[in-house]
Amino acid sequence: MSSQRVWNIVLAGIGGQGVLKASDILAEAAFRAGHDVKKTEVHGMSQRGGSVNSDVRFGPVVLSPMVPDGETDVLVILDASQTENNRHRLRPGGWLLTPDSVAGLPAATGRSGNVAMLGVLSAFLPLPEQAWRDAICASLPAPVQAANLEAFAAGRAAANAARPASTAGSAHPLPLHKV
């Protein structure tokens, strides 16, 4: 898929998982890569473990921040309980990225799990790795940058390692589930 198109990404989870921070980092990475970026979020009872969603759209020209239902290219789920609540947002042939993608990665535990998921997502999107790394550093305080850069690298490496040799260079790592 070309980087000359508008990409529609939805991140979903529960309050306290860093959904909004992850969407901030994604938006910043896309902006640093030269794209027009729009972002919106919905968070009801997010401070009490309620559902949190954030839409991020980027491309040459983006007119609206909201991803229409059925047009999401990649749905990033940070908490498995949010999968069925958001599945309808995927376009036919869209990709579902679940917490299974980073299960077992030591760097993905605790407060860095959202950034590890971004590492997996980064292997799928047409954004330079340096834009991601710069966005992480710009979005997080200095004391937690190293741990989050490690989590990002672990997620990205896991996605790239899962890609079979026959699809090297493909934009679709295996941890994403095609719907």
- Determine the pLDDT at residue 47: 60
Q: Which of 115, 117, 66, 113 has its CA nearest to residue 95?
A: 117
In the chain, the domains with their CATH numbers are 7-163 (3.40.920.10)
User: pLDDT tens, 13-45?
Assistant: 998 889 999 999 999 999 999 999 999 988 665
User: pLDDT tens, 84-126?
Assistant: 999 999 999 999 999 888 888 887 777 899 999 999 999 989 9
**Per DSSP, what are the bridge partners of residue 173?**
none
User: Quick count: other Cβ atoms within 10 Å of Cβ 146?
Assistant: 11
Q: CA dist 120 to 42, 97, 105, 147, Å?
A: 23, 8, 12, 16
9 alpha carbon, distance to own chain's centre:
7
User: pLDDT tens, 37-60?
Assistant: 999 988 665 566 788 999 999 999
